[in-house]
């Protein structure tokens, strides 16, 4: 890295070789795009799996010749086996949570835009940044290997859901799906943890250390607050999963008994009476759940916080209005992040954990609804009195708010100890978390994609296709996930390969069909999005440096930004991030870099952000 | 871009806990300060923050393992505490000593005595290797007694915690060797000097942390219950 | 565009709410004593949820409709928020949410903070991969000794019952759980292999069976009949087939059943299973 001297413009030239420029690049923008591509591939895999699952649930026992050809082990003669279905459940969850919802929002968009939005030339540790992507990619390759290398078993991969509850996951002899595939699953997650930790380290350091002149904390865009909080959550939660994963792996391969109690009788064999089944004693299955959910609950906020940040950013921009309650938004993000560490027990009310701690967890859990509600109110407040421009990113941002409310609010039901008794592990839960952490997060990412695409590639995405994509997806996800709530109320359990065995589920068949058809249509429409992405890179309408008339630093530089982001001249920041509709200003937006007329940068006075004067 | 934009990056000295102070709202590094040209502390701060952040992650992992240790030791009656392999006292002495020698090495670098710095670094590396060797001997001692990873929960935790700590310490050794190799650069390049100093600070911090962590693990394994 | 979006949001809201309102798919009729309070709490919660959901979505639609860019020259309202509003809505939501959480504890507390009432009917539940085993004390009211070392699935000794123990002489083991109506039941939940979950939707009750633990829970069923029992925790390949029944029997019928010697117990159980139909589907 070179030395900057006063007055001189100092440029960092990009590397010229193809490999250094696009493959093993140190440029946070290239790494961000690499992460996004990884997520786009992973989400395709995960979505395909969900379609296969819906096919099996709606038309159980049907022969799908194509499946038989693709997965001779999992679907002999084209008929899906229950273990194939369950491994799809596991893989769908794992790939979506880890390789989509954790990579795209944070590793992808965060990597690309955090340094630019704070006026830095790059991340603090570019080499670590590159490593974090490549480590994550290795994790993805290992998880794909887990699908295909499950040994002689007739499954396509591990069976355990994304939570891999011990001792099912800790006992290699507890049935199909617990062999080599499960080892690879654990290894993949461990690798993923390391990649995420490297990323989190970089995000935190960059944000603390590399903000440009005038970019005080309270002048940062809300996206930066979200990425920062997300990085802190990742930093503190992934090590716990890593530790738990090591213990689980040792239980599986080294004969230890961290999670495996004594006296088990599995698949016709008593522990200790066979060389394949060591004499475990005294382990605690619930310990795994504690370790997992201590990570697992912050993880859901890792998935959604960046979406919240992007939504705030985009809502304000297209509402042409300052964000409502900037400071409250920052506190809400923080409160969610902090409380997120103290609510993990709500996943375990009926696990055999102490009923008294369940009560505490329940109250803390419903408290976390408060900052979430505050965010919703502030989003509505931002729209109040606005002058809304309905471009595709704005549609998705509004969709995010709608879905976040729809999905989040049922947390009030699930967070109560008593109501968890009928609801736990039913489709009500599936509906809740898919809407809020799955679909809402993805809507945040769609909004971010349509919003920042012009900056990343210098061209707009096709607006008509984008809108069509929005309408169908928005209606589609409601049709998929709202009926799942009622399925859960009737009592339909999760992770059932078929619903044919129970009479009390028979009445739900029309709903199951409806959901499947909605899901398949919604997934098909995503092809439009992929097409739009690729097409627009080459053929999209050209965009200027600031096509949306936005205010933050990414719109100061060219589209796409040069290798060193600001062509060697780092911007100075004079005001808060969302100065729209300022009375008396020339335009209806005032960039962060725009000084007050006639004012010198050193003479800028004020309290650091211009907000909170009503 | 406006002419008032300068190329000076924010100047943020390391504040509490190595973290930077947030730049003042009216823009950090006002025009007067720009006369002092660039600010070497900038990179230093970056390394220090990075290291503190990394240590937070490592701390979380050992916290998780500790809580597993406590839960597991209380959850069943199969807990049979090992008798401490005596050689662990030597390990402990070695690592405590190595913290001292590394601190000396760091001071020597500050006093611009690269030769002495390197000598002390080398001593630290040897002490670190000695520690790892001594840990391995402790393992061998246990294996000779027929105590393996899966023998009982306490031995599982013993092997796991010492191995995890050992892997981290090995990383520290690699960093020390890297430090010893990089101190060759000349004294003229102020940025390089500042970076070298910052790297030395960060590695020293890491090493001290590993030292304290070992003492903590040692107490947890053999003096807690 | 703004108006279209508002209308779509409202239609989706209406659709979502009506799905709950028509009650075509709803909880099955409850059969336990704690269920009434639980259903009450659910109703209260879902009303709060519904009102908040409708308010937020209608409000969102309204903003989108009203504040669309109509090409007017005036700018949007320049406002950075209102501290008073922030305080108000933080306090209001905190009171409602935490209030709900506190109210939601009562059923939980009645089930979990107290021991099973004296005179509860004890049943030991031993789950194993894809099968339920219910261990009844027989006439003596005492469980025979069990030992994992004695488990032998091929000899149909699924729970490792020690036949030499005098207390075990009259014990019965069956894959169907038969509980008395109106009398508290205490379950002692165990698992032989992995985690399972005891789940009867009509009972409004669910509890994990964790290997290595004996979890005691209690409830009172009060509507005689036959109900489906499912496993609600992923336990492996045939998780979806781990089905059995719960028979809720009138006290006298139940008492007669429990007094029977082992061979007659099995036949009688088969008769009872045939006698009671499953509840009609709603």
Residue A269, H or E segment: strand A269-270
- What are the residues whose beta carbons fall under 8 Å from the beta carbon of A70, sequence distance 6 or more? none
Cα separations in angstroms, B96 against B58, B84, B213, C160, C204: 20, 18, 11, 54, 59
Find, in chain A, the residue whose alpha carbon is nearest to that of C279: A504
- Cβ A86–C93 below 8 Å, yes or no? no
- Give the nearest chain A residue to C233 (CA atoms): A425
User: Which of chain B's residues have a Cβ under 8 Å away from the Cβ of A244?
Assistant: 64, 68
Interface contact A205-B49, CB threshold 8 A: yes
Helix (H, G, I), strand (E, B) or coil at A265: strand
pLDDT in tens, A187-227: 999 999 999 999 999 999 999 999 999 999 999 999 999 99
Q: Is residue C198 within 8 Å of A424, Cβ to Cβ?
A: no
Residues from chain B contacting residue A242 (CB–CB below 8 Å): 61
Beta bridge partners of C135: C124, C173
Q: Return the pLDDT at A610.
A: 38
CA distance A197 to B13: 25
Q: Using DSSP, state whether A270 is helix, strand or coil.
A: strand
Q: What are phi and psi of C152, to 5 degrees?
A: -150, 95
Average pLDDT over residues B91-105: 96
Distance from CA of A239 to the nearest CA of B (A): 5
Instruction: State residue A156's pLDDT score.
Output: 67
Q: What is the mean pLDDT of the segment spanning B24-50?
A: 50
Contact A474 C82 (CB under 8 A): no
Closest by Cβ to C64, choosing from A176, A383, A416: A383
Both structure tokens of A263: 């006296």
What are the distances in angstroms from CA B89 to CA A338, A367, A547, B141, B213? 40, 49, 67, 14, 15
Q: Is some CB atom of chain B closer than 8 A to the CB atom of A201?
A: yes
pLDDT band at residue B7 under the 50/70/90 scheme = very low
Instruction: Specify the pLDDT at position A607.
Output: 37
Beta-carbon contacts of residue B157 (< 8 Å; ≥ 6 apart): B65, B68, B69, B72, B221
Listed in sequence order, the residues at least 6 apart from C99 whose beta carbon sits closer than 8 Å to its beta carbon are none
DSSP type of residue A353: -
pLDDT digits 0-9 by tens, A482-511: 999 999 999 999 999 999 999 999 999 999
Which of A209, A239, A284 lies closest to B46 in CB terms?
Answer: A209
Averaged confidence pLDDT in chain C: 94
Nearest 5°: CA angle at B5, between A613 and B7? 125
- Say how far apart CA A319 and CA A546 lie, in whole Å: 16
The pLDDT value recorded for residue B109 is 86
Residue in chain A nearest B35 by alpha carbon:
A6
pLDDT 10s digits, B142-164? 999 999 998 999 999 999 999 99
CA dist., res. A533 & res. A528, Å (int) = 9
Look at residue B183 in the predicted model and tell me its pLDDT: 59
A211 contacts chain B (CB < 8 A): yes
- Rounded Cα distance between A180 and A249, Å, is 11
Closest to C113 (Cβ–Cβ): which among A355, A499, A504?
Answer: A355
Which residue of chain A is at minimal alpha-carbon distance from C91?
A370
Cα–Cα distance, C36 to C223 (Å, whole number): 13
Beta-bridged to residue C124, according to DSSP, are: C135, C188
Q: Give the other-Cβ count within 10 Å of A161's Cβ.
A: 20
Residue B185 has pLDDT above 80, yes or no: no
B26 close to A602: Cβ distance less than 8 angstroms: yes
Nearest to A211 among B23, B60, B68 (CB): B23
User: For residue A5, what pLDDT band results from cuts at 50, 70 and 90?
Assistant: very low
Distance from the B15 Cα atom to the nearest Cα atom in chain A, whole angstroms: 11
pLDDT at B14 over 70: no
* Structural contact between residues C120 and C33, judged by C-beta atoms closer than 8 angstroms: no
Q: Does A73 touch chain C (CB under 8 A)?
A: no
Rg (C-alpha) for chain A, rounded Å, is: 25
Place of tokens 């789940």: C199
Length of chain B: 225
Q: How far is C190 from chain A (nearest CA, A)?
A: 11
The two three-digit tokens of residue A347, written as one number: 């996943």
What ipTM goes with this model? 0.96
* Nearest-angstrom CA–CA distance, A335 and A312: 17
Residues of chain B contacting residue A287, judged by C-beta atoms under 8 Å apart: 68, 71-72, 75
Instruction: State how far the Cα of A499 lies from the Cα of A513, in Å rounded to an integer.
Output: 12
Q: Which positions ≥6 away from A260 have C-beta within 8 Å? A: A166, A167, A170, A171, A251, A280, A283, A285
For residue A107, give how far its alpha carbon lies from the nearest alpha carbon of chain C (Å): 31
B103 is written with which tokens? 């601190």
If you measure CA to CA, which chain A residue comes closest to B66? A243
Task: Using CB atoms, pick whichever of A285, A365, A424 lies closest to residue C210.
Answer: A285
- Whether pLDDT at A153 is above 80: no
Predicted confidence (pLDDT) at residue C31 exceeds the cutoff of 70: yes
At residue B13, the pLDDT reads 32
Backbone phi and psi for residue A354, each to the nearest 5 degrees, phi listed first: -60, 130
Nearest residue to B105 (alpha-carbon basis) of B95, B120, B94, B92: B120
Interface of A with B in 543-582 (CB under 8 A): 556, 566, 568-574
String of DSSP letters for A60-99: TT---HHHHHH-TTTSGGGPPPHHHHHHHHHHHHHIIIII
The mean pLDDT value for A231-260 works out to 96
Q: Are A222 and A231 in contact (CB under 8 A)?
A: no
Q: What backbone phi and psi angles, to 5 degrees, belong to C24? A: -65, -40
Closest by CA to C253, choosing from C270, C267, C268, C274, is: C268
Residue A372 C-beta-side C-alpha neighbours within 13 Å: 29
CA A331 to chain C, closest CA, distance in angstroms equals: 11
Q: Which of residues 458-517 of A touch B (CB under 8 A)?
A: none
**Contact flag A243-B150 (C-beta cutoff 8 Å):** no
Q: CA A443, CA A395: separation in Å to the nearest integer?
A: 9
The residues pairing with A459 across neighbouring beta strands, listed in sequence order, are A542
Whether A152 shows a pLDDT value over 70: the answer reads: no
Q: What part of A 355-394 touches B (C-beta under 8 Å)? A: none
> Which residues, listed in sequence order, are joined to residue C123 by a DSSP beta bridge?
C187
pLDDT (tens digit per residue) in C34-92: 999 999 999 999 999 999 999 999 999 999 999 999 988 889 999 999 999 999 999 99
Q: How far apart are CA A295 and CA B149, in angstroms?
A: 26
**Contact across the interface for A176 and C237, Cβ inside 8 Å:** yes
User: Given the DSSP bridges, would you call strands C184-191 and C121-128 parallel, antiparallel or unpaired?
Assistant: parallel
Tokens of B147: 């105590």
Determine whether the interchain pair A602/B150 forms a contact, defined as Cβ–Cβ distance below 8 Å. Answer: no
Main-chain dihedrals φ then ψ at residue C174, nearest 5 degrees: -145, 160
Check A569 against B26: CB less than 8 A apart.
no
Establish if A373 touches chain C: CB-CB under 8 angstroms. Answer: yes
Q: Concatenated DSSP letters for A16-41?
A: -SHIIIIIS---HHHHHHHHHHHHHH
| A238 interface with B at CB cutoff 8 Å | yes
DSSP letter assigned to residue A346: G
Q: What is the pLDDT of residue B40?
A: 37
pLDDT tens digits for range A114-144: 999 999 999 999 999 999 999 999 999 999 9
In contact, B135 and B91? CB cutoff 8 Å: yes
Q: In this predicted structure, what is the pLDDT of residue A257?
A: 92
Q: Which residues contact B19 (CB under 8 A, 6 or more apart)?
A: A208, B49, B52
3-state secondary structure A128-142: HHHHHHHHHHHHHHH
Helix/strand/coil (H, E, C) string of chain C?
CHHHHHHHHHHHHHHHHHHHHCCCCCCCCCCECCHHHHHHHHHHHHHHHHHHHHHHHHHHHHHHHHCECCCCCCCCCCCCCCHHHHHHHHHHHHHHHHHHHHHCHHHHHHHHCCCCCCCCEEEEEEEECCEEEEEECCCCCCCCCECHHHCEHHHCECCCECCCCHHHCCCEEECCEEEECCCEEEEEEEECCCCEEEEEHHHCEEEEECCCCCEEEEEEECCCEEEEEEECCCCCCCHHHCCEEEEEECHHHHHHHHCCCHHHHHHHHHHHHHHCCCCCCC
- Number of residues in chain C: 282
The confidence score (pLDDT) of residue B23 equals 38
CB C26 within 8 A of CB A490: yes
Instruction: Report whether the peptide linkage leading into residue A18 is cis, meaning its omega lies within 30 degrees of zero.
Output: no
Closest of A73, A263, A287 to residue A177, by C-alpha: A73
Query: What is the reported pLDDT for B16?
Result: 28
- Min Cα–Cα distance to chain A from C171, Å: 21
From A444, A333, A329, select the one nearest A452 (Cα to Cα). Answer: A444
> Are the CB atoms for A80 and A489 separated by under 8 Å?
no
Distance, in Å, from the CA atom of B126 to the CA atom of C149, rounded to the nearest integer, reads 53
Residue with tokens 């019928």: C253
Residue B177, exposed/middle/buried by CB under 10 A (0-12, 13-18, 19+)? middle
Model pLDDT, residue A19: 83
SS3 content of chain A, % helix, strand, coil (to 5): 60, 0, 35
> In which residue are the tokens 């505050």 written?
A374
List C-alpha distances in Å: A76 to A68, A84, A155, A249. 5, 10, 10, 31
Which subunits sit against C, judged by 3+ Cβ pairs under 8 A?
A
pLDDT in tens, A445-490: 999 999 999 999 999 999 999 999 999 999 999 999 999 999 999 9
């Amino acid at each position: 890295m070179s030395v900057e001297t006063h007055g001189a413009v100092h440029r960092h030239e990009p590397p010229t070789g193809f490999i250094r420029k696009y493959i093993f690049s140190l440029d946070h923008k290239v790494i961000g795009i690499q992460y996004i591509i990884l997520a786009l591939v992973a989400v395709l895999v995960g979505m395909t799996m969900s379609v296969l699952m819906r096919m099996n649930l709606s038309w159980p026992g049907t022969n799908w010749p194509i499946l038989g050809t693709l997965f001779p082990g999992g679907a002999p003669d084209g008929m899906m086996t229950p273990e194939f279905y369950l491994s799809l459940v596991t893989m769908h969850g794992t790939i979506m949570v880890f390789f989509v919802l954790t990579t795209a929002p944070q590793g992808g968009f965060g990597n690309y835009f955090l340094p630019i939005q704070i006026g830095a030339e790059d991340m603090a540790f570019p080499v670590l940044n590159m490593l974090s992507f490549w480590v994550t990619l290795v994790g993805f390759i290992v998880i794909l290997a887990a699908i295909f290398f499950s040994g002689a078993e007739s499954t396509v991969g591990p069976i355990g859901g994304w939570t891999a509850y011990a001792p099912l996951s800790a006992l290699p002899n507890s049935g199909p799906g617990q062999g080599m595939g499960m080892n690879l699953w654990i290894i993949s997650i461990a690798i993923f943890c390391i990649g995420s930790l490297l990323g989190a380290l970089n995000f935190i350091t960059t944000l603390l250390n590399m903000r440009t002149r005038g970019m005080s904390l309270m002048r940062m865009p809300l996206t930066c607050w979200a990425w920062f909080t997300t990085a802190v959550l990742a930093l503190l939660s992934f090590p716990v999963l890593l530790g738990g994963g090591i213990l689980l792996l040792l239980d599986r391969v080294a004969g230890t008994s961290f999670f495996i109690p004594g006296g088990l009788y599995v698949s016709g064999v008593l522990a200790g009476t066979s060389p394949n089944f060591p004499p475990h004693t005294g382990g605690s299955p619930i310990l795994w759940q504690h370790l997992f959910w201590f990570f697992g609950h912050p993880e859901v906020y890792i998935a959604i916080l960046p979406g919240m940040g992007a939504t705030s950013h985009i809502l304000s921009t297209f509402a042409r209005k300052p964000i409502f309650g900037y400071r409250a938004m920052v506190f809400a993000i923080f409160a969610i992040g902090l409380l997120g560490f103290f609510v993990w027990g709500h996943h375990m009310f009926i696990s055999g954990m102490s009923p008294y701690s369940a009560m505490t967890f329940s109250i803390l859990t419903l408290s976390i609804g408060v900052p979430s509600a505050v965010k919703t109110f502030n989003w509505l407040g931002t729209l109040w009195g606005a002058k809304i421009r309905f471009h595709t990113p704005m549609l998705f941002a509004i969709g995010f708010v709608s879905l976040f409310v729809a999905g989040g609010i049922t947390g009030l039901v699930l967070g109560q100890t008593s109501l968890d008794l009928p609801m736990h592990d039913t489709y009500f839960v599936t509906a809740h978390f898919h809407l809020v952490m799955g679909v809402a997060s993805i809507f945040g990412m769609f909004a971010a994609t349509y919003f920042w695409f012009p900056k990343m590639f210098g061209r707009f995405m096709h607006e008509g296709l984008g809108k069509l994509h929005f309408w169908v997806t928005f209606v589609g996800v409601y049709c998929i996930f709202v009926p799942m709530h009622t399925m859960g109320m009737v009592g339909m359990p999760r992770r059932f390969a078929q619903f044919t065995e129970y009479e009390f589920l028979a009445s739900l068949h029309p709903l199951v069909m409806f959901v499947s058809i909605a899901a398949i249509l919604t997934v098909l429409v995503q092809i439009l999005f992929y097409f739009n992405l690729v097409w627009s890179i080459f053929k999209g309408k050209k965009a200027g440096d600031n096509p949306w008339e936005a205010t933050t630093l990414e719109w100061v530089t060219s589209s796409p930004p040069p290798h060193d982001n600001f062509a060697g001249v780092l911007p100075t920041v004079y005001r808060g991030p969302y100065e729209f509709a300022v009375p008396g200003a020339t335009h209806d937006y005032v960039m962060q870099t725009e000084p007050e007329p006639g004012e010198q940068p050193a003479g800028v006075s004020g309290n650091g952000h211009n907000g909170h004067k009503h | 871009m406006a002419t008032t934009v300068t190329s000076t990056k924010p100047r943020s000295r390391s504040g509490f806990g190595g973290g930077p102070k947030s730049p003042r709202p009216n823009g950090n590094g006002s025009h007067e300060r720009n006369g002092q040209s660039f600010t070497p502390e900038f990179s230093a701060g970056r390394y220090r923050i990075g290291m503190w952040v990394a240590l937070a992650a490592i701390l979380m992992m050992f916290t998780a393992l500790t809580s597993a240790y406590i839960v597991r030791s209380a959850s069943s009656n199969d807990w049979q505490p090992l008798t401490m392999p005596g050689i662990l006292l030597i390990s402990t002495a070695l690592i405590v000593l190595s913290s001292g020698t590394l601190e000396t090495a760091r001071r020597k670098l500050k006093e611009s005595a690269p030769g002495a710095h390197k000598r002390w670094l080398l001593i630290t590396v040897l002490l670190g290797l000695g520690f790892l060797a001594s840990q391995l001997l402790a393992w061998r001692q246990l294996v000779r007694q027929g105590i393996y990873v899966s023998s009982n929960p306490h031995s599982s935790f013993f092997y796991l915690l010492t191995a995890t700590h050992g892997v981290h310490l090995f990383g520290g050794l690699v960093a020390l060797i890297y430090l010893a190799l990089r101190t060759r650069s000349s004294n003229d390049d102020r940025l390089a000097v500042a970076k070298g100093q910052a790297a030395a600070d960060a590695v020293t911090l890491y090493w001290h942390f590993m030292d304290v962590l070992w003492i903590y693990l040692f107490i947890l394994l053999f003096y807690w219950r | 565009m703004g108006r279209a979006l508002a209308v779509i949001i409202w239609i989706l809201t209406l659709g979502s709410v009506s799905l709950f309102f028509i009650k075509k798919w709803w909880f099955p009729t409850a059969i336990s004593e704690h269920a009434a309070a639980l259903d009450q709490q659910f109703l209260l919660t879902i009303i709060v949820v519904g009102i908040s959901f409708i308010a937020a979505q209608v409000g969102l639609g309204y903003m989108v409709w009203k504040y669309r860019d109509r090409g007017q020259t005036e700018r949007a309202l320049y406002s950075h928020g209102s501290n008073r509003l922030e305080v108000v809505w933080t306090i209001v939501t905190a009171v409602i949410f935490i209030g709900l959480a506190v109210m939601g504890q009562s059923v939980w507390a009645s089930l979990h903070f107290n021991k099973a009432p004296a005179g509860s009917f004890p049943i030991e539940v031993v789950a194993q991969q894809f099968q339920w085993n219910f261990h009844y004390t027989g006439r003596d009211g005492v469980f025979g000794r069990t030992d994992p070392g004695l488990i032998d699935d091929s000899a149909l000794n699924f729970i490792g019952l020690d036949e030499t123990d005098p207390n075990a002489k009259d014990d019965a083991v069956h894959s169907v759980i038969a509980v008395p109506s109106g009398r508290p039941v205490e379950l002692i939940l165990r698992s032989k292999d992995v985690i399972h979950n005891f789940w009867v939707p009509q009972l409004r009750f669910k509890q994990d069976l964790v290997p290595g633990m004996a979890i005691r829970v209690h409830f009172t069923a009060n509507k005689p009949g036959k109900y489906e029992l499912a496993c609600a925790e992923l336990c492996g390949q045939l998780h979806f087939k781990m089905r059995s029944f719960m028979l809720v029997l009138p006290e006298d019928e139940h008492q007669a059943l429990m007094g029977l010697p082992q061979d007659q117990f099995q036949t009688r159980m088969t008769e009872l299973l045939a006698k009671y139909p499953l509840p009609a589907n709603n």
